[in-house]
Structure 1
Amino acid sequence: KARSLQQRHAFDALVSVSLPFTAHWIGRKLKGKFPGLFWLADTGDPFALQPLHPLNNQALYRRRNRRAEEAVLRTADRTVVTNEGARRLYDEVFPGHPREIAVIPPMSSQWPVELNAGRSATSSWHLGYFGSFFPGVRMPAPLLEWFRELLRLEPQLQLHLYGELFESIRPSLGEFADLQARVTLHGLLPRSEVPAAMDQMDFLVNLGNRSDFQLPSKSADYWLAGKPIINLTQIESDTFSQFLAGHPLLLQVPVLEKQPSEKELQRCRTFLREHFGRRLPDDQRRMIAERLSPPSIARQYGQLLLSAQEK
């Protein structure tokens, strides 16, 4: 079908988006058939380089996966990743590839210029986590264990989980049944509803990945929300920490062990009390929006595509 469309319309450029990796493989086949077609391979997560969360049977397909991903990297005119960790990984695993890799951050939702007043005053303080969980990379246990311990110090807290909850994740929630009254599962939201949901929170909580080359997809929205953020890091080279470097309302909390230390819990308690009700000024949010809003990200991709016409 892709070959037929190219023959009919003679497109100047092709953009393939992975995952799923099939899109890149179609792009490679089309590039082979039409060598003059400029091909931009946009990669959210590497396909063959995920030992913590393999995407197929590694015993059967590990070598084939790597050959396929390297072929894409060597064939595409430009490859785009979301963070420097992914670019470094590609350079290390596939040294000498001839193509330049660009880093373009994830796009935010369409945020209003000014935030609303937020949720109405209640006796509870609301913490919001936005994102899914993935075996090996980001599981709910460190987040819920941290929240359980923090409740001892601040019993008025309420945790809201927004994101798809896969069946493989649900059994791991059983050991936290005692938190049911304080944890609300909202499920996956349409992207257009994310800003309003974040605006209802007093604080945002992020659980970092256990990999150093994957950036959570809601990272841009965490910036634009303007709310105080507690980032629970599972590794030292946390990509979310790097992405939000310079955020004035950000607390980094390592959760490398099963239970957070009393010292870290006290840091969280102090942060909550000192930052309740605070948010970034609108002028700072506008500056961030200039870099992460849909029009800004579109311009960055447009510049890469226009470079095809300059060759």
Structure 2
Amino acid sequence: MIDNKKILIITYYWPPAGGPGVQRWLKFVKYLPEFGWKPTVFIPENPSYPIIDKTLAKEVSTDVEIIKTKIWEPYQIAEFFGKDNKKFKAGQFDVGENQSWKSKLSIWVRGNFFIPDARVFWVKPSVKFLKKYLAENHFDAFVTTGPPHSMHLIGLNLKKEFPNLKWVADFRDPWTEISYYKHLKLTKSADEKHRNLEREVFKTADITLATSYSDAENFRKKGAHAFCITNGFDEVKQMFQAQQKSKDSKFTLSYIGVLEQLRNPEILWKVLAELMREDENFKNKFELKFVGRIDGRILEKIERSALKDAVKNLGYLSHSKANKEMQQSDLLLITNFPDAGSKGIIPGKIFEYLATGKQIISFGPPESDVKKILDETAAGKHFIYDGFAEVKEFILAQFEQWQQGNILTKPQNIEQFSRRNLTKKLSEIL
């Protein structure tokens, strides 16, 4: 029998953390042993997670070794500037007219003093701990996954100490190309420091992983040896199961996940509000369901519109319960940042959406990677943040299909996005 190769995963997010940041490597760790790799996971001992989902701990095998060291995070100080700054833990903040002076100040502090992010204080103690650990234990490769991109600074230091140990730098989101980067109010010197660190990571890592086709291409242009491995869905056994609905059921459009102001599809809310005013049948049968954390200002505006009586806000649910809510929906919403620079962002939830067999309505920049996936799988339609009439026509067509009982589609070519197949691709790259 051939012994498994050993790989160390360095990640900030791990159960009991909830939300999208934890899913990617939780699933890779689950399937890597099938392809000849034995994972060990290094995490903070006392993290300040923005979302907790204790049910995810059940997905971690007892065979996986977990090692930890303490972290200090400055969020208690940041929260002095206002309760909304708790959003910073999840990479969110207010923009435009919604920004108070405290919010503006805290964003400036965040971007210029915590480079690349507020978890940077974990770098030195982690490097010290892992130098000793790696010297005493054989590994064939190690992974850093960000954001937070401070994880990649740990990687830079370890690669210098262990040059023969293969380093995989995994970017779940871009660094300087992420849409909110321009909102960080950076000084020239801070901007240069971010970009220099990013460039050093790209040139030093043996492998750089991106979660989208466009990001992988952009990373290669910056000197990275980059590959695309998207996120995916875990199980297919629940796919295409028709949901039995009662006669008094609603035509349900659902958003699952975190929705902040920078990805707010205001055009959709306007279309739905107009349909509620114009069509009594639609008004009586439509439901707008939110599962996750929706920015309070978005909710306030919706609840002041004609949509107010149609909203069902369930708040944050465990991953398994959120998946059930996807199954019980008729149309699923996904949003992205509107600028062209974000065309490479593929929100992880799209893959779990695909596994439901339900139609997807998407908003984001033109010719995005999300549009490419929807076109290839015939699973929905992508819109830019414009085109009121086209969005209204699509919603009405879906509503008509629902009334006729045709609520399921048959997406094509989606097996490539199963977590097991994606892990196989990762093992081949390794």
Verify: 1:112 aligned to 2:241, yes or no: no
Verify: 1:72 aligned to 2:201, yes or no: yes
- Displacement of 1:105 after TM fit? 1.1
CA RMSD of aligned residues (A): 2.4
Of 32-41 and 290-299, more deviation after overlay is shown by 290-299
1:226 to 335, 357, 364: 357
Structure 2 unmatched ranges of 5 or more: 1-128
- Displacement of 1:203 after TM fit? 1.7
- Displacement of 1:77 after TM fit? 0.4
Verify: 1:301 aligned to 2:426, yes or no: yes
Q: Counterparts in 2 of 1:78-157, with a 5 A limit?
A: 78-92=207-221, 94=222, 97=223, 99-121=224-246, 122-136=248-262, 138-151=263-276, 152-153=278-279, 154-155=282-283, 156-157=285-286
Distance 1:51 1:229 in 2: 23
2:321 to 193, 205, 220: 193
1:8 to 129, 132, 136: 136
Q: Deviation per CA, 1:195-243: give whole Å up to 9, x if none.
A: 3221101221222332212111201112111012222x33212331112
The structure with higher relative contact order (CA 8 Å, sep 6+) is: 1
**Per the alignment, in what secondary structure is the counterpart of residue 133 of structure 1?**
coil
Distance 1:215 1:150 in 2: 29
Do 2:343 and 2:364's aligned partners in 1 also have CA atoms closer than 8 Å?
no
Amino acid at match of 1:222: Y
Who is 2:417 aligned against?
292
- Displacement of 1:253 after TM fit? 3.6
2:347 to 199, 208, 216: 216
Who is 2:59 aligned against?
none
2:190 to 51, 54, 61: 61
- Displacement of 1:75 after TM fit? 0.6
1:41 to 161, 164, 169: 169
Who is 2:309 aligned against?
181
Do 2:171 and 2:208's aligned partners in 1 also have CA atoms closer than 8 Å?
yes
Cα 1:6–1:64 shift into 2, 3 Å: same
Do 1:140 and 1:173's aligned partners in 2 also have CA atoms closer than 8 Å?
no
Q: Deviation per CA, 1:95-132: give whole Å up to 9, x if none.
A: xx1x4210111121434245544252234211111232
TM-score (norm 2): 0.62
Distance 1:194 1:234 in 2: 23
Of 71-80 and 118-127, more deviation after overlay is shown by 118-127
Of all paired residues, the percent bearing the same amino acid is: 21
Amino acid at match of 2:364: Q
**Per the alignment, in what secondary structure is the counterpart of residue 246 of structure 1?**
helix
Do 2:179 and 2:337's aligned partners in 1 also have CA atoms closer than 8 Å?
no
- Displacement of 1:42 after TM fit? 0.9
- Displacement of 1:87 after TM fit? 2.1
TM-score (norm 1): 0.83
Who is 1:274 aligned against?
401
Cα 1:187–1:119 shift into 2, 3 Å: farther
Of 176-185 and 64-73, more deviation after overlay is shown by 176-185
2:365 to 235, 246, 252: 235
Structure 1 unmatched ranges of 5 or more: 306-311
**Per the alignment, in what secondary structure is the counterpart of residue 254 of structure 2?**
strand
- Displacement of 1:15 after TM fit? 0.9
Distance 2:234 2:255 in 1: 16
Who is 1:309 aligned against?
none
